[in-house]
A and B are shown apart, each in its own frame.
Chain A
Amino acid sequence: MKEERIKQITNQVVEQFRRSGYDVDAKEISKRLMLLIYEFKVPESEAIRTVKNWLIKELEIPKEKLVAEAPLVKIADITKPGQWVSLKAKVVQLWDSSSPSVSQVGLIGDETGMIKFVIWAKSGKGEVEEGKSYLFRNIVTDSFQGRMQVYITRTSDIVEIEEDIQIPPREIEVVGALVAIQQNSGLIQRCKLCRRVMTKGICPIHGKVEGYDDLRIKGVLDDGENFYEIILNEENIKALTGIDLEKAKQIAAERLDRNAVLSELKSQLLGRYLKVRGTRGGRYLIVNEVEFLKGIDKAEIEKLIEEVAA
């Protein structure tokens, strides 16, 4: 475990220097990190800083050289964790984040694909907006649950660009059963400042602030082979159930319970087959269109029966 961790940090240090054109001795770095972290019990971040400073002195590297710009790549090129890259990409979707260490999380895309991004709160970078294109400079790749993602850290830059990055429609159609509807679905409240979903009147970032009502479902569509996490917005929900925000508020008022809306939606949707047309982005399916599945083709059944008989 220890070794694993040290190896990980060492690789990051080595990679950062390699990026600036310096080959450094991984063995020596590991040795120093091991000593600092496990012998001297120095916090990791301090140990890393110490080792980096030592390398800078040792190699007589001018400090500004070390933050050399990472190469501009396409999303499809990102296949390995721990790489420093730059990307020109459009913000496709922003997700909710309950973690105070995350400023923003969502999906960005370019001509070649889509990837999840995380802007750490500590990075101090400005917020991005859905639909706008940016140059993300010096961001770092990572893999999480088998999928690539990128982090925007303190050494990164986000610059809005004029160019409108084109994302090819990669629409797919999925027929699956809605096997789960998460909490935080139904008639929800969003923070007026950041639109994040509030829990019991509290925004994960802004605390107790004023909110506004919204209708949405976070759910899981399962076709027996794969599962797709989907978010249905007010429009989607209305198309399926006839319940819009106004109606939802009315239900909540009549039954004196906001949860009554979620119960109602669950009883109408859970365990039903939905046909969803959407764009695949990581584990998420971004819903463009959704409807209940309508019947089966009788000819298909005949065909199957013949197949079995044969």
Chain B
Amino acid sequence: MNGVRRREIAKRIFAYEFNRSTHRIKPEEDKAPVYVLTPLGMRCNRVFVVGALLDKDEIKPDSGIWRIRVADPTGAFFGYVGRFQPDALESLMEIEPPELVAIVAKIGVFERDGRLFVSLRPESISVVDSETRDYWIYETALKTLERIKRMELKKDEDCKLAWQIYNPNLNEFRQMVKQALASLKEEFELIEEIEEEELKERKEIEEVEFEKLKEKDELEEFEEEFEFEEEEWDLSDILGE
């Protein structure tokens, strides 16, 4: 039955794994959602992220599109918020970085020179406390370790595909998880050495992809606004009599 598509789960993923996700799984049927495959063999279309909002900048003056950078203990997520995310935009305008935030986001993708760049397209942004952040790190560590295990066992098709595409060094990912967990034990400095390079690259992409940023992103296009009162097919005529 064609109906409301099942809501996409908000996956938990560290910036490190997220930013290394460069493979998109094209839908088999027309209206199916698009997924990004991560190096640890997880399909995702929506994520839940908690971290420090480091900065927000309008990518061009008066464009109404804001670039945000949100750091977790393993790296930083880039995100873009525009008029197609009214709730997120409204909250973002009220927040002065740095601030701890929780973000529910669809994944945005740009392609450049055959490489895929992922970013967050937030649906909602809210200011949270450090307990929420800590739990997120814990939970994300747990789920990442599960993924590493699945990769070791080459459990399913997506794992096999991830091996084929990324051939990941699992130890590198274990170290990353360890680093994240360590941050829960002591006061921890955010890695600020980030990515002057990466930022420069992003800015170049934004230049080229500016028009696309003003539009709804392809990954968020199809999922319908989920509602409790789902309309159902009225069978009463047929079944009644």
A interface residues with partner B (beta carbon < 8 Å): 9, 12, 44-45, 48-49, 52, 95-99, 101-102, 105, 118, 120, 122-123, 140, 142, 144-145, 151, 153-155, 177, 179-180, 182, 218, 220, 222, 224-227, 229, 266-267, 270-273, 293-296, 298, 300-301, 304-305, 307-309
Contact = CB atoms under 8 A, between A and B. Distances in A.
A6 B143 CA distance: 46
Q: Which of B123, B135, B139, B239 has the most CB of A within 10 A?
A: B239
Contact of A123 (B103, B125, B134, B240): B240
A294 B123 CA distance: 25
A272 B102 contact: yes
Contacts of A118: 232
The B interface is mostly helix, strand or loop, or mixed, namely mixed
Among A48, A52, A177, A267, the most chain B Cβ lie within 10 Å of the Cβ of: A177
B241 A44 contact: no
Interface in B77-103: 91, 101-103
B124 A271 contact: yes
Contacts of A227: 7, 9-10
B68 interface: no
B138 A271 contact: no
A180 B128 CA distance: 15
B50 to A, nearest CB: 7
Contacts of B178: 305, 308-309
Nearest to A308: B178
A307 B178 CA distance: 9
Contact of B229 (A99, A177, A300): A99
B93 to A, nearest CB: 13
A224 B11 contact: yes
B48 A220 contact: no
